[in-house]
Amino acid sequence: MIKQMKNYYSYLFLLPAGLVFTIFFLIPAISSLFFSLTRWTLTDWTYIGLENFRMFFSEDSLRIGFQNTFLYAFLTCGLKVVFGLALGVYLTSEIRTKNYLRAVVFFPNLISTIAVGITFNSLMHPSKGAINRGLMFIGITGPDWLGNTKLALLSVINVDVWKGVGIATVIFIAGISSIPTQYYEALSIDGGNRFDKFRHITLPLVRPAMNSVIILALIGGLRTFDLIWSMTKGGPGFTTDLLASIIYKQYSSGFFGLSTAGNVFLFILVSVIAFPIYKYLNSREVDL
Amino acid sequence: MISRTRRLLMEITGIISALVIFGIPFYFIINSAAKNPREASLMKMSAPEQFLLLDNIKEVLSTDKGVVLTAFKNSIMITLFSLLVLVLFCSMAGYVAQRRIGKATPVINFFILTGLILPPAIVPTIWLLMSLGIFKTMFSMVMIEVALSMSFSTLIYKGFMATIPREIDEAAIVDGSSSFRLYFQIIFPLLKPTTATIIVLSSVNIFNDFVNPLYFFPGKKNVTIQLTLYNFISKYHSNWNLLFADVVIITIPMLILFIFFNRKIIAGMSAGAIKA
């Protein structure tokens, strides 16, 4: 039976998807490896070796993109894990408003990033914004959240977490809900308190959910563009530029080769970080 | 298990923090969208002197000969066509990828992982579209949205296929069903729950997409809803009320979707993520 079945599961079914993926994703991705080594006008190119990549390391305005991309990805990821887990535990506890609160925490995911950026741009306005007005009310003079070179990136990171923590939360909720209640009951009989329950049952058994959150947040954070673009455009100066915004800036100034080199850097960075973490995390899952 | 006062305290803390952290920004959006320009520029939380939400929305809709409506039409068309192609192509791919284990399996898995992890190569894609003569067309925009959401959708279909017993296929084959009939008449209808998940998730992602239309769908006629919002940031820099009215306009479809498919969206997003 199995042998004959092969004829029914024809590889022809893979063809449409495979074609679209190859033409619109794979071919550009592979050709980027070549075009990153050129000075490129889209119609004409000159081979210049690793010049574009050297430029990325020698220009401060480009190098900063690396640091920021790392910082952005790891901080948003860490904060989403911490807050997502805390909210997940809270929203699976015995409270009556949990369905309503889940919906509230989740809703920002459905708003466009540009709209979120616009909203927080005005909430974070140094003199008129609601955040600094609130701080003034309790006697603190708030900083210029998006204009201060040291703070701007952190402010955007916080907005990213605000928008994205909902998805982390629902993943944690799904993970926590799948833990059998007998485990908790057994621990109660042995005299464990709420902290023990979290430390010895929830935390280890929520591992698969946490892995998903980490991977999703890291991949999303590394390639993020729209939030930073709608909030700071990489400014003040270059202090909040990420690799993705550098790719856009070089592209719109017509440096296509340089832009593509940035793209290749992003490929390398994402692969070097995401593939091993994916493999590592998937090998350490605790089975129920 | 927990004492009553403690639970009450927990509930109250939760509601208050939710109101402050999530409620204030939403309140601020709607409040500002209902103000007159002078009031909105003060960015205060106080209620508007006159509730002008509908007037502001009307004004936004009539800006630039109704560019927002054109953008709406474009965004909805891109979303619909992408969904159609995505559901058809990915369900077929997920079906064979799960059923037929062979030499192609590791290759397929590798492509799915690549598509999930890697971002698109921007300029080379534009170059390719130009060489093919389809740059700035809706067709190419749809194909790009499909290509970028494809790995995720195929993965979900593949995961769900595993829960459909092979005996169903065998029974159909014994009854003399052809390979295409087996898929279209028997398997595809069984995939309905996954199809619903993918439709809801992808429509949110594609409708809200800003980056890809920015690169691959430029031009005056080709506006999408997120691009117009972005362009309005500089156009309306002194008319915050109109900017926020536009935010309200483009959030309404998502809000409606959320009211009807709240559970489906949340369940789909978490299920999809865990399988990924």
- Closest residue on chain A to B5 (Cα): A95
> Does some domain include residue A49?
no
Task: Give the domain CATH number at A251.
Answer: 1.10.3720.10
Query: Domain limits at A139?
Result: 64-283
What's the token pair of residue B134?
A: 């389809």
Per residue in B43-82, pLDDT (tens digit) is: 888 888 888 889 899 988 888 888 899 999 999 999 999 9
Does residue B1 carry a pLDDT above 60? no
Nearest CB to A114; choose among B140, B210, B274: B210
CB pairs under 8 A between A and B: 266
| Residue among B245, B198, B181, B209 at smallest CA distance from B51 | B245
- pLDDT of res. A262: 92
For every residue of chain B, DSSP letters joined together read: ---HHHHHHHHHHHHHHHIIIIIHHHHHHHHHHTS-HHHHHTT--SPPSS--HHHHHHHHHHGGGTHHHHHHHHHHHHHHHHHHHHHHHHHHHHHHHHH--STHHHHHHHHHHHHHHPPP-HHHHHHHHHHHT-TT-HHHHHHHHHHHHHHHHHHHHHHHHTTS-HHHHHHHHHTT--HHHIIIIIIHHHTHHHHHHHHHHHHHHHHT--HHHHHHS-SSTT--HHHHHHHHHHHTTT-HHHHHHHHHHHHHHHHHHHHHHHHHHHHHHHHHHHH-
> Does some domain include residue A1?
no
What's the token pair of residue B256?
A: 């409606």
Does residue B270 carry a pLDDT above 70? no
> Does some domain include residue A47?
no
Report CB contact under 8 Å: A118, B229: yes
> Does some domain include residue A120?
yes
Does residue B208 carry a pLDDT above 90? yes
Angstroms from B180 CA to nearest CA on chain A: 8
Residue B107 contacts A, CB cutoff 8 Å: no
Cβ–Cβ under 8 Å, residues B230 and B210: yes
CATH no., domain B66-235: 1.10.3720.10
Interhelix angle for B104-117 vs B138-161, to 10°?
120
- Closest residue on chain B to A212 (Cα): B274
> Does some domain include residue A134?
yes
> Does some domain include residue A37?
no
Interface test with A, best of B118, B215, B216 (most A CBs within 10 A): B118
Interface test with B, best of A44, A97, A122 (most B CBs within 10 A): A122
Cα–Cα distance measured from residue B4 to residue B198, given in angstroms and rounded to the nearest whole number: 42
What is the count of structural domains for chain A? 1
Angstroms from A149 CA to nearest CA on chain B: 22
Q: Is A268 exposed, middle or buried (0-12, 13-18, 19+ CB in 10 A)?
A: exposed
> Does some domain include residue A40?
no
Per residue in B24-47, pLDDT (tens digit) is: 999 999 999 998 888 888 888 888
pLDDT band of B177, cuts 50, 70, 90:
confident
List the domain boundaries for chain B: 4-55, 66-235
- pLDDT of res. B276: 47
- pLDDT of res. A199: 87
pLDDT by residue, tens only, chain A of 288 residues: 555 666 778 889 999 999 999 999 999 999 999 999 998 988 888 898 898 889 888 888 888 888 999 999 999 999 999 999 999 999 988 888 888 888 888 889 889 999 999 999 989 988 888 888 888 888 888 888 998 888 999 999 999 999 999 989 988 998 898 888 888 888 888 888 888 888 888 999 998 889 889 988 999 999 999 999 999 998 788 889 999 999 999 999 989 999 999 999 999 999 998 888 877 776 654 443
**Which residues from B are below 8 Å from A5, CB to CB?**
99-100, 169-170, 173
- pLDDT of res. A288: 37
Residue B52 contacts A, CB cutoff 8 Å: no
